[in-house]
Structure 1
Amino acid sequence: MHQTLASIDPIAFSLGPIDVRWYGVIIAAGIIIAFLVGQREMVKRGLHPDFLTDLLIWAVPLAIIGARIYYVSFEWEQYKDKPADIIAIWNGGIAIHGALIASVIVAYVFTKKRNMSFLKVADILAPSILIGQAIGRWGNFINQEAHGGEVLRSFLESLFLPDWIINQMYIDGVYYHPTFLYESLWSLAGIIILLLLRKVNLVRGELFFFYVIWYSAGRFFIEAMRTDSLYVVGELRAAQLVSVMAIILALGLLTYRRVAFKKPVHYLDK
């Protein structure tokens, strides 16, 4: 008989009446680490040191808004009679696809305003995006959310997981698939591949397209395990539909640019 320990307290610390939750701490840590990695590469690629800071000032808050709008759109029945709850983001309800879509739009507009190549910036930041995602998923772990279906403890032990992860997957008397971990590890593998691909000096845009394809492929299969999916209609999961569309778009753009441009700009080009 295994002793099941209490779940991890989601509150990291308190400042007077304000509780600071681990979820927020982990998300902030992901953003900071992603920023530091991206900033270093941007300077190497000849961009101004303040460029990324200026971009994030717009991208971070609008990404949060995008994540909320995306979630509320698919859960409209829950919010249509309670419009005040739409802004109650502290009660949960954000979706990473909404954040990513909003961030891409913001980055595209921002780079055009600065007379910069969007794809150059997107290539540089592709590993950083995955870093943020890999770290951010651990916030879901602390909150005991975004998990998969029921499993036996013996299954989790067969994955050679430490007890502190297995115990956190014990929710209301049941063990669940740690889908947060699957996605975090998938993202980590993507980071390593992207950093290696930098040395290959691919055509501009292809690092970003690889990120889109890699993340979307992993998310498609991991989403099938989750119990908290947003649905488009019937059993069609929104994240899976968006993932398939993203893969098709990325492959299409990658192929088009390879065929259309006889002398394309590469990643290491100025």
Structure 2
Amino acid sequence: MLGTVQPIDPIAISLGPINVAWYGLIIGMGIIVGYILANREADRLGMPKDLFADLLIWAVPIAIISARIYYVIFQWDYYSQNPGAIIQIWNGGIAIHGALIGSVTTAVVYSRLKKLDVWKIVDIAAPSIILGQMVGRWGNFINQEAHGGEVTRSFLEGLYIPDWVIDQMYIEINGTFAYYHPTFLYESLWNLAGLILLLVLRKVNPRRGEIFLTYVIWYSIGRAFVEGLRTDSLMLTETIRVAQALSFALIAGAVAIIIYRRMKGNKTRYADKRNN
């Protein structure tokens, strides 16, 4: 009933003064399952042993730092007045696009140092990335954040989602309770469909680079739509949302790269053994 729903406790485990949040556990789970998926595929394709274990050692911390920097930049009015809050990542405030910039940059540098084909590495990683994003969005669910605008309970019931999800979408903001769009769920389901698409592409064995570029296009389409429903968007201007502008740019860029590489005659396939 209204007013009686208790939100999920964001703290999973308390060990004395140490609190372990569900958010961190869920993000960690996303990283682990993504790593397992990528590592198995790398082994199947004959890539160097422990390639993704070594890469993750650098990519994960760099992705977290870059995700925080990205968020802080677009919230600088607040953080310039509260510099001590910049490092308080446990209070929320990381951006997926920032994490992607950091992790992809790390993969490029790593592949060049190891003399590996970066396109093959990011192709292998693409399903893992979208899998991690799919899992990670449930951290937003626990924290009752990254939601959309206000809706009615009957609207949510019409989506045929479980009551425990609907109940968690009953959120207090400025002393007022209301139900909100579960945009975390929309994006998570979109990412699930994208994961299936990328795994099917693996079987098709497309030209190298096109699994990752398909990921960029697919994720960006979904993110642009979901971002339009959210109420906590980082804003580029008063009317332009950062994530939407970047998503449209990424879609255009990915399509242009696919066309350019095909015109240049790139015919190396994803699973080809050469040019590892």
Establish whether TM, by shorter chain, passes 0.5.
yes
- For residue 171 of structure 1, give the secondary structure of its aligned residue in structure 2: strand
RMSD of the TM alignment (CA)? Answer: 1.1
Q: Could you say which residue in structure 1 is the equivalent of 2:68?
A: 68
Could you tell me whether the CA contact under 8 Å between 1:4 and 1:167 is conserved in 2? no
Q: Could you say which residue in structure 1 is the equivalent of 2:268?
A: 265
Q: Percent identity?
A: 59
Query: Taking structure 1 as the reference length, what is the TM-score of the superposition?
Result: 0.97
User: Deviation of residue 81 (structure 1)?
Assistant: 2.6
Deviates more, 1:246-255 or 1:83-92: 83-92
With over 3 angstroms needed to count, the CA separation of the structure-2 counterparts of 1:4 and 1:197, relative to structure 1, is: farther
Q: Could you say which residue in structure 2 is the equivalent of 1:181?
A: 185
Q: Could you say which residue in structure 1 is the equivalent of 2:79?
A: 79
Q: For 1:218-238, what per-residue CA distance to the aligned partner results, in whole angstroms no more than 9, with x for missing partners?
A: 000100000000001111000
User: Which runs of 5 or more structure 1 residues have no equivalent in the other structure?
Assistant: none
With over 3 angstroms needed to count, the CA separation of the structure-2 counterparts of 1:226 and 1:150, relative to structure 1, is: same
- For residue 199 of structure 1, give the secondary structure of its aligned residue in structure 2: helix
- For residue 54 of structure 2, give the secondary structure of its aligned residue in structure 1: helix
- For residue 19 of structure 2, give the secondary structure of its aligned residue in structure 1: strand
Amino acid at match of 1:120: K
Could you tell me whether the CA contact under 8 Å between 2:5 and 2:170 is conserved in 1? no
Amino acid at match of 2:213: F
Q: Could you say which residue in structure 2 is the equivalent of 1:240?
A: 244
Could you tell me whether the CA contact under 8 Å between 1:122 and 1:205 is conserved in 2? yes
1:216 corresponds to which of 213, 220, 229: 220
User: Deviation of residue 84 (structure 1)?
Assistant: 2.4
**4+ residue runs over 3 A deviation:** 1-4
User: Which runs of 5 or more structure 2 residues have no equivalent in the other structure?
Assistant: none
Question: How many residues get paired?
Answer: 269
Q: For 1:87-107, what per-residue CA distance to the aligned partner results, in whole angstroms no more than 9, with x for missing partners?
A: 221222111100001111010
Q: For 1:120-143, what per-residue CA distance to the aligned partner results, in whole angstroms no more than 9, with x for missing partners?
A: 000011100011000000000000
Q: Could you say which residue in structure 1 is the equivalent of 2:28?
A: 28
User: Deviation of residue 14 (structure 1)?
Assistant: 1.1
Q: Could you say which residue in structure 1 is the equivalent of 2:148?
A: 148
Mapping 1:29-44, distance limit 5 Å: 29-44=29-44
Q: Could you say which residue in structure 1 is the equivalent of 2:107?
A: 107
Separation in 2 of the partners of 1:151 and 1:82?
Answer: 33
Q: Could you say which residue in structure 2 is the equivalent of 1:251?
A: 255
Amino acid at match of 1:202: P
With over 3 angstroms needed to count, the CA separation of the structure-2 counterparts of 1:235 and 1:35, relative to structure 1, is: same
Amino acid at match of 1:185: L
Separation in 1 of the partners of 2:82 and 2:156?
Answer: 40
Query: Is 1:202 matched with 2:206?
Result: yes
- For residue 236 of structure 2, give the secondary structure of its aligned residue in structure 1: strand
Amino acid at match of 1:70: Y
Amino acid at match of 2:49: P
- For residue 20 of structure 1, give the secondary structure of its aligned residue in structure 2: strand
User: Deviation of residue 82 (structure 1)?
Assistant: 2.6
- For residue 218 of structure 1, give the secondary structure of its aligned residue in structure 2: helix
- For residue 204 of structure 2, give the secondary structure of its aligned residue in structure 1: coil
Separation in 2 of the partners of 1:34 and 1:155?
Answer: 33
Deviates more, 1:71-80 or 1:134-143: 71-80
Separation in 2 of the partners of 1:243 and 1:33?
Answer: 25
With over 3 angstroms needed to count, the CA separation of the structure-2 counterparts of 1:148 and 1:28, relative to structure 1, is: same
Amino acid at match of 2:155: F
